[in-house]
Amino acid sequence: MTDVRISTSQIKLWSDCKTRWAFERIEHRSAPPGPAATFGTNVHAWVAAHLSGQQYPDVTRDELMCAQALLPHLPSRAEAETHFNFVHGGHGWHGYIDAQDGPHIYDHKTIKTLSKVPDLAALRGDPQALIYAVGGAYEYDTVTLQWTYVERPTGAVIPMKWAASTKPQQLDALLPTADAIAYARRTVTEANSLDGNLAACYKYGPCPHRVVCHTYQNRNKTMTTPTKLERQLKLSLGLAPTEPPPAPTVKGGLMHAYIGCLPIKRASQRPLYDMAMLIESANDAIKVTHDVAHWRMIPYTAAGVLAVAIKDTIAAIGSQGPFDVYSVFPLPPEVLSVIITAAAEVTKGAS
Ligand code: SF4
């Protein structure tokens, strides 16, 4: 048996984007949970406390409303957050079940819109459902699974329920993925050595690894918009790095910002980031966070939104090590003020 434990989250992460899997499972780059994940965690904690008769955690009003909306679809008492593990196909498999009452297994999902709830055919073949059916109640031949979807923050609910076999052979279709994960665990040392999946960059909100991901940073190589042409011109003049920024290796968070000029005689080989690229990343994040179809829909007066998004992006870079940022173009005053606050040293105007 391999010493790699396979979980639903590993399979999901690997299937979505191998590079992201490696950033998190090989390079151990952690990112703070976003608002949607925090909301879901708090709802789960409240429901678990209710089902097991424990003390309720502090939650917001919206989280409480969603948690309470789940209760009519759950047993009044159940085992909550139970851990299972078993061996199949040479791998250890494990997981945590939100709630269980004998052969009845429950999972709660907070979701942005109920229109995204999968149909039963998709749920029957979902890796999580297959793994939980085998691991959750192996003493039974069949179990019932109920995935209950609750919409944030309205509390509208759709429960999806079906019967499933507990036979381990139903996991055989997942074995090639489990084998690939186990092999990658042994052989991969750098996330950027794997091909990323651009379709996954905003699947659950902005991927926190965009600033260090070569796949993401090179995504616009064939783009011919004026912004790209400007960047290509700067590249041809030797004014910007011709290679993707190297993954930072030095601990710390020091940032030097060059606003309205370009850095010369840099003292070290710290990674150098183009502010235009950071703004692009921030705009992508805004599109998702504020649910707009196109970033130009955000008026200029929303520079604060842009500033916050850039600050988040800078924080993500800063957590990896010292770096430099340059912008040869003027920036909105509110954005500039965020940069100056975050930077250890700012050089303005003269190159
Ligand atoms: S930015 Fe996109 S391609 Fe890169 S690791 Fe994240 S999801 Fe994968």
Three-state DSSP string of 98-129: EEEECCEEEEEEEECCHHHCCCHHHHHCCHHH
The CA 200 to ligand 1 mean position distance, Å, reads: 6
Q: What percent of the chain has pLDDT over 70?
A: 75
95 and 7 Cβ atoms separated by less than 8 Å: yes
Rounded to an integer, what distance in angstroms lies between the CA atom of residue 135 and that of residue 93?
Answer: 8
317 and 277 Cβ atoms separated by less than 8 Å: no
- Average pLDDT value for residue range 271-276: 75
- Average pLDDT value for residue range 198-227: 74
| pLDDT, tens digit, 9 for 90 and up, residues 59-89 | 999 999 999 999 999 999 999 999 999 999 9
pLDDT at position 3, please? 67
Any ligand 1 atom below 6 A from CB of 316: no
pLDDT at position 294, please? 58
Has residue 274 got a pLDDT over 70? Answer: yes
Q: Taking Cα atoms as reference points, which of 162, 161, 152 lies closest to residue 69?
A: 152
Top-confidence residue, 312 or 13: 13
Any ligand 1 atom below 6 A from CB of 37: no
Tell me the sheet residues that pair with 145: 105, 162
Which of 15, 192, 212, 213 maximizes ligand 1 atoms within 8 Å of its Cβ, making it the mutation to test the pocket? Answer: 213
Rounded to an integer, what distance in angstroms lies between the CA atom of residue 98 and that of residue 84?
Answer: 11
The CA 27 to ligand 1 mean position distance, Å, reads: 14
Residue nearest to atom 1 of ligand 1 (CA): 210
135 and 85 Cβ atoms separated by less than 8 Å: yes
pLDDT at position 246, please? 41
User: What's the Cα-to-Cα distance from 168 to each of 89, 142, 338, rounded to whole Å?
Assistant: 9, 12, 54
Q: Taking Cα atoms as reference points, which of 285, 254, 252, 248 lies closest to residue 269?
A: 248
Any ligand 1 atom below 6 A from CB of 217: no
Any ligand 1 atom below 6 A from CB of 197: yes
Rounded to an integer, what distance in angstroms lies between the CA atom of residue 18 and that of residue 288?
Answer: 22
| pLDDT, tens digit, 9 for 90 and up, residues 308-334 | 777 777 766 654 566 777 777 777 777
Which of 194, 195, 198 maximizes ligand 1 atoms within 8 Å of its Cβ, making it the mutation to test the pocket? Answer: 198
Any ligand 1 atom below 6 A from CB of 110: no
pLDDT at position 248, please? 35
Q: Which helix (H) or strand (E) holds 58?
A: none
Rounded to an integer, what distance in angstroms lies between the CA atom of residue 30 and that of residue 314?
Answer: 15
| pLDDT, tens digit, 9 for 90 and up, residues 24-50 | 999 998 777 778 889 999 999 999 999
pLDDT at position 122, please? 94
Any ligand 1 atom below 6 A from CB of 216: yes
The CA 212 to ligand 1 mean position distance, Å, reads: 9
Any ligand 1 atom below 6 A from CB of 147: no
287, amino acid identity: K
Domains located in the chain, CATH noted: 5-187 (3.90.320.10), 197-348 (no CATH)
pLDDT at position 263, please? 67
The CA 218 to ligand 1 mean position distance, Å, reads: 11
Top-confidence residue, 164 or 298: 164
Please give the structure tokens belonging to residue 250.
């030095």
Any ligand 1 atom below 6 A from CB of 200: yes
Please state which of the ranges 164-168, 206-210, 327-331 shows the lowest mean pLDDT: 327-331
Has residue 143 got a pLDDT over 90? Answer: yes
The CA 271 to ligand 1 mean position distance, Å, reads: 19
pLDDT tier, 298 (very low <50, low <70, confident <90, very high otherwise): low
pLDDT at position 243, please? 46
Has residue 54 got a pLDDT over 80? Answer: yes
Tell me the sheet residues that pair with 279: none
Residues shown for the chain: 351
User: What's the Cα-to-Cα distance from 34 to each of 23, 103, 207, 335, 344, rounded to whole Å?
Assistant: 17, 33, 10, 22, 26
pLDDT at position 241, please? 44
Has residue 133 got a pLDDT over 80? Answer: yes
- Contacting residues for 294 by C-beta, under 8 A, at least 6 apart: 287
pTM over the 0.95 mark: no
- Average pLDDT value for residue range 176-190: 92
Helices (H), the chain: 8-16, 18-25, 35-52, 61-70, 120-124, 127-136, 175-187, 214-217, 226-236, 275-289, 303-318, 333-342
Cα atoms in the Cβ-side hemisphere of radius 13 Å centred on 209:
26
Rounded to an integer, what distance in angstroms lies between the CA atom of residue 98 and that of residue 109?
Answer: 10
Q: What are phi and psi of 47, to 5 degrees?
A: -65, -40
Has residue 120 got a pLDDT over 90? Answer: yes
What is the atom index within ligand 1 of the atom nearest the CA of 203? 7
